[in-house]
Structure 1
Amino acid sequence: MRRILTLAALLATTSVPAFAGDILIHGGPIHTGVAAAPTAQAVLIRDDRIAFVGDLAAAKAKAAKDARDIDLKGAAAFPGFVDAHAHLTGIGLRELTLNLDQTTSVESLVAAVKAYADAHPEGPIYGRGWIETHWPEKRFPNRADLDRAAPRRIVVLERADGHAVVASTAALAAAGVTKDTVAPAGGQILKGPAGEPDGMLIDHAQGLVAGVIPPPSDALKRQALEKAGALYASRGWTGLDNMSVDKADVVILQGLAREKKFSLRVDNYMDPASADVVLPIGPSQDGTGLIRVRGIKLYMDGALGSRGAALLEPYSDAEGLGLQLTPRDKGLDLMKRAKAVGAQVAMHAIGDRGNRMTLDWFEEALAGDTTARWRIEHSQIVTDTDVPRFAKLGVIASMQPSHAIGDLYFAPARLGKARLHEGYRWKDFLDSGAVIAAGSDAPVEVGDPRIEFYAAVYRHSLDGFANADWSLNEAVSRDQALRMLTWAPAYAAFAEQDRGTLEAGKKADVTVFSKDLMTVAPPEILKADAVLTIVDGKVVFEK
């Protein structure tokens, strides 16, 4: 008799039992991601591979007698969702430190810091996740705010996008930052009316206070990575592209995977400081097959919100053209070394100037090679003339749909009406023939596949707001959104022959949601629960 597991049982299950043998999935919509056969009645998994996709009767005939039978009871199955841009250690640390992603004003930030300081009376305070664009005060926080919250304490709070911090007076003093301190190249020290630093440090200037907060220990990183893996599995992700990775984190991930304490697929793009991991040896794989090193992650510019994105024309609401974070000679040297060993390059570029320079550098370094699958991370603001260059050069647009539905509250002010159409051009990229690998950039964003899918197909805020500035014509179809979050990340990792769709012979990576994302009304997408996550034929999460 087959083992029956209904959706009701799924919802009641909190632990994941080991099961060796066939798994038969049926009883709800199954979306394969294959254009010629987009839906199926059943999927049969054998070991780590998909053995059959198609008719239920045929699947039952092929299944072993003791196969585990999962009746979805109307829940919907999809190819495994993959976050094509995330920061795994940061995701875990966000859950273990002062999380500020729910702050709604300067005063709520002050209250959060005060509460944390009262609960932790000793030592420096580090937090992350604040973003001021919706705050009623219409300004960045400053050191005076932090001094009110935690007098005489070292406090450093990172903006959600990771491109700015605000530091307390004690933190600035400990770092030796004064009115005479010169900002490093690619950074800014914001100052008050008297010329004194106001606590806001942009992009490379963040490094000035890096030493005043003790770095996380390997033990804390291990805890953070294990927690992040469990959290991501519970949201329905089967894998992610991990950005700006330290080599120590790769070692920890490999150890966790071997110990069966981490079950997701991770393709790592290393921080330049750890580039020695990549450049002499090229892409590598650990013994589990889950943790891979793909290439390096570089930064061309900063973020739009903190006005560090490199623009061709000045910001509409401030002076300046933004920041270039990587010098040309250094960037091209790293790119050419990466190409020589087959390592991928992933370059962060937000502004239209940042994207153009990246395309120019890629074109020079690749020297006509359109098969390298190098990536531009974010690809947020791109001119009309540069959009076709992505497909022409074989460059992947690694984009985060949730960025648009957050940024479009303030992007009109930063860019002005005339160039606002350059932003978040999902449909334009797809129409040009480019590949979009979609992700979340968590912990900058929540890191939820439902939000990314919703944003891609609906292009409204989470509470349903949009206006003429939001370019609703750039929303994509549901088939396109599914491809952006499943097949495209596989393609970006040179793995589309092995995963990204539900087809016989491919790796058995499956995501199941309680609602059918392909048919429900857009607001209902956000109410769909992840109820089952399968990686390599193993159930890694059940709700």
Structure 2
Amino acid sequence: MTSTTSLVVFIAALTLVACQGTASKTKSTSKDWCISGGTIYTANDANTIIEAVAVRDGKISYAGPNTGEWCLSNSQTQTIDLAGAAMYPGFTDAHGHLLGIGLREMTLNLEGTKSIAELKERLAAAVTTTPDGETVFGRGWIETHWPEKRFPNREDLDEVAPNNPVILVRADGHAAVINSAAMKAAGITKKTQSPFGGAINKNAAGEPNGMLIDYAIDLVEDLLPSLTEARKEEAYIKGAALYASRGWTNIHSMSVIPADVPMLNRLAAEGKIKIRVYNSLDVLDKQIMGKMKAMDTVEDDQIITRAIKLYADGALGSRGAALLAPYSDDEKNEGLMLMKDEQARSILQAALRNGTQVNTHAIGDKANRLVLDWYEDAFTSVPKSEWSNPDPRWRIEHSQIIDVADIPRFAELGVIPSMQPSHAIGDLHFAVDRLGPNRLAGAYAWQALIDSGAIIAGGSDAPVEVGDPRIEFYAATQRMDLQGYSNENWNREQRVSAESALKMFTAWPAYAAFEENVLGTIEVGKAADFTAFDRDIMTASADDVLTAKVEFTMVGGDMAYQAK
């Protein structure tokens, strides 16, 4: 989602999606439960639907029919009658940004902005409460549906904010528009060179027009306020509570600042974070590799840190995704690579020897091909006798635009595509303009990847997207936007079955985090992580999936959220 520098880590921490409810306090301290009264899906092919589940000390002790003496209760046992609701293995968001999810309401919210005119209105309102000279920061705009049919520029912002530096980041975190005051404060002029992996867009006169792409955003990082420890702690707590209320029991948190790991461990130990967190650290320094094994050892299994996040390219919407051929709507632009071959080779070989999982952001077809090449090179150049883990399970985060010839390589190399279905129902409104119809054959190719033998770790990329399991499940199975629209460019043959969609958010993320023996399915001996909705989303209509309500979220036998 973002670059690896401090500014874009800060940007990745911010979000603009409104909170949809709050998690309640735990209503019971018991880890013993008897649950029945509704359809229970296991995500286990050997026993897909059951009637009853018993939990003892936070683990599943029974999973089967509602007959006989299955509910062996004691004085601590609590009974749950689903009353027709449906229960599933705990849903996992395999790609989100927990810090950003928590901070989503702590900045100027530009989500849903319908035009440059409205962008200026929202900015003008923020300026009225900001002292002259203080930076106004916001995030969440997407220009693809705007009537002006262009990016905003510094002149737009100058009209309403002449006396404050302004930095407004696109929803994907890969582009920002700044005003003249910010440009002056950062020392950006006509002579300023674009950094590697970034672009300073210019107007017809050759002057910077205010749009900064990818690593060029770093040029204004000194204008941002610092993110204090107290602010981060509050954000992590709020983000985890929000996710529990939406039905998530686990998040694979991307772009995590390494120094935040002790804080996360402490907050979990204090009971302030109730969901599981699988961290992927935002680093490019191979020196961190030597510390990864120590980080992998924690007091419990709630917070796990064993992966790093790398970045191959930018985003499609801002034309920073690296393509094999130029953009259809910008014939001089092939996007941006954010890593060099020698840099990738050094890091990947060290990671393989150390047993560190590698999760690399790649959007464009060129970036996905190069990451597959880099992974394959590491696998072949490092003797297997030197691999710390013979099953590294490296991932490509997003895997959005893939040349069809490269689709089989994921399964062949054992690489996991970590994909966010909601990207397709938003991006495909403009992807045909960026790519043309032919390249969309390998875009968001969920079913083709599954057919090739790959498993997909499903996520949301919140705060880029909402971060709602209902939307992700809907997107995966319907491949229509939220208004039910699709056309021939949507390639709806790439939608997946409800059974596959369930695995994308349960069993397959567990495998992608080396946790398939303890999480991901409802089986005896595994952790009691459950998500319950008021209706059966496996058989519900599309509209009913989107309006399902979370009944409860259970993590390790502890109730993380219950509907009031």
Indicate whether the TM-score tops 0.5: yes
CA contact (8 A) 1:97 1:127 kept: yes
1:284/1:174 CA distance change after superposition, 3 Å = same
- Per the TM alignment, residue 18 of structure 1 is displaced from its structure 2 partner at its CA by 3.3
- Per the TM alignment, residue 21 of structure 1 is displaced from its structure 2 partner at its CA by 4.3
Task: Show the counterpart of 2:41.
Answer: 31
The code of the aligned residue for 2:312 comes to M
Task: Show the counterpart of 1:136.
Answer: 147
The code of the aligned residue for 1:124 comes to T
Q: Distance in 2 between matches of 1:273 and 1:97?
A: 28
Which of 322, 328, 334 is the aligned partner of 1:316?
328
CA contact (8 A) 2:26 2:558 kept: no
Q: Distance in 1 between matches of 2:86 and 2:414?
A: 33
CA contact (8 A) 1:100 1:112 kept: yes
Q: Distance in 2 between matches of 1:21 and 1:245?
A: 30
Task: Show the counterpart of 2:364.
Answer: 351
- 2:311 aligned with 1:291, yes or no? no
Task: Show the counterpart of 2:73.
Answer: 63
Task: Show the counterpart of 2:346.
Answer: 333
The percentage of aligned residue pairs carrying the same residue is 50
CA contact (8 A) 2:363 2:400 kept: yes
Alignment of 1:23-102 (within 5 A): 23-58=33-68, 60-64=70-74, 66-102=76-112
- Per the TM alignment, residue 254 of structure 1 is displaced from its structure 2 partner at its CA by 1.4
C-alpha deviations, 1:425-457, integer Å up to 9, x for none? 000000000010000001110000000000000
Q: Distance in 2 between matches of 1:149 and 1:251?
A: 42
- Per the TM alignment, residue 14 of structure 1 is displaced from its structure 2 partner at its CA by 4.2
Describe the SS at the equivalent of 1:110: helix
1:108/1:511 CA distance change after superposition, 3 Å = same
The code of the aligned residue for 2:504 comes to M
- Per the TM alignment, residue 66 of structure 1 is displaced from its structure 2 partner at its CA by 4.4
Q: Distance in 2 between matches of 1:373 and 1:429?
A: 16
CA contact (8 A) 1:316 1:416 kept: yes
CA contact (8 A) 2:23 2:242 kept: no
Describe the SS at the equivalent of 1:414: helix
Which of 116, 137, 140 is the aligned partner of 1:126?
137
The code of the aligned residue for 1:315 comes to Y
Which of 399, 414, 426 is the aligned partner of 1:406?
426
1:26/1:386 CA distance change after superposition, 3 Å = same
Describe the SS at the equivalent of 2:103: helix
Describe the SS at the equivalent of 1:461: coil
CA contact (8 A) 1:25 1:43 kept: yes
- 2:472 aligned with 1:452, yes or no? yes
- Per the TM alignment, residue 525 of structure 1 is displaced from its structure 2 partner at its CA by 0.6
1:151/1:13 CA distance change after superposition, 3 Å = closer
- Per the TM alignment, residue 274 of structure 1 is displaced from its structure 2 partner at its CA by 6.5
Q: Distance in 2 between matches of 1:532 and 1:517?
A: 15
Q: Distance in 1 between matches of 2:256 and 2:77?
A: 39
Alignment of 1:253-264 (within 5 A): 253-264=264-275
C-alpha deviations, 1:54-112, integer Å up to 9, x for none? 12234644233542111111111000000000111111122221121121221222222
1:21/1:249 CA distance change after superposition, 3 Å = closer
Task: Say what the alpha-carbon RMSD is for the aligned residues.
Answer: 1.7
Which of 397, 401, 408 is the aligned partner of 1:388?
408
Task: Show the counterpart of 1:4.
Answer: none
Task: Show the counterpart of 1:5.
Answer: none
Q: Distance in 2 between matches of 1:25 and 1:145?
A: 57
Q: Tell me which moved more, 449-458 or 49-58.
A: 49-58
Task: Show the counterpart of 1:429.
Answer: 449
The code of the aligned residue for 1:532 comes to F
- 2:547 aligned with 1:527, yes or no? yes
CA contact (8 A) 1:509 1:537 kept: yes
1:216/1:274 CA distance change after superposition, 3 Å = farther
Q: Distance in 2 between matches of 1:353 and 1:482?
A: 30
CA contact (8 A) 2:30 2:76 kept: no
1:428/1:418 CA distance change after superposition, 3 Å = same
- 2:440 aligned with 1:417, yes or no? no
The code of the aligned residue for 1:300 comes to A
Describe the SS at the equivalent of 1:119: coil
Task: Show the counterpart of 2:317.
Answer: 305
Q: Distance in 2 between matches of 1:443 and 1:501?
A: 27
- 2:377 aligned with 1:364, yes or no? yes
The code of the aligned residue for 2:501 comes to A
Q: How many residues align?
A: 533
- 2:125 aligned with 1:109, yes or no? no
Q: Distance in 2 between matches of 1:278 and 1:226?
A: 28
Task: Show the counterpart of 2:11.
Answer: none
Q: Distance in 2 between matches of 1:249 and 1:111?
A: 36
Q: Tell me which moved more, 424-433 or 292-301.
A: 292-301
Alignment of 1:135-284 (within 5 A): 135-273=146-284, 276-282=287-293, 284=296
Q: Distance in 2 between matches of 1:199 and 1:58?
A: 70
- Structure 1 stretches lacking a partner, 5+ long: 1-10
The code of the aligned residue for 2:314 comes to G
Q: Distance in 2 between matches of 1:13 and 1:399?
A: 27
1:194/1:264 CA distance change after superposition, 3 Å = same
- Structure 2 stretches lacking a partner, 5+ long: 1-20, 385-389
CA contact (8 A) 2:110 2:138 kept: yes
CA contact (8 A) 1:44 1:59 kept: no
Q: Normalised by the size of structure 1, how large is the TM-score? A: 0.95
Which of 467, 492, 503 is the aligned partner of 2:487?
467
Q: Distance in 2 between matches of 1:231 and 1:241?
A: 15
Q: Distance in 1 between matches of 2:69 and 2:98?
A: 37
Describe the SS at the equivalent of 1:151: coil
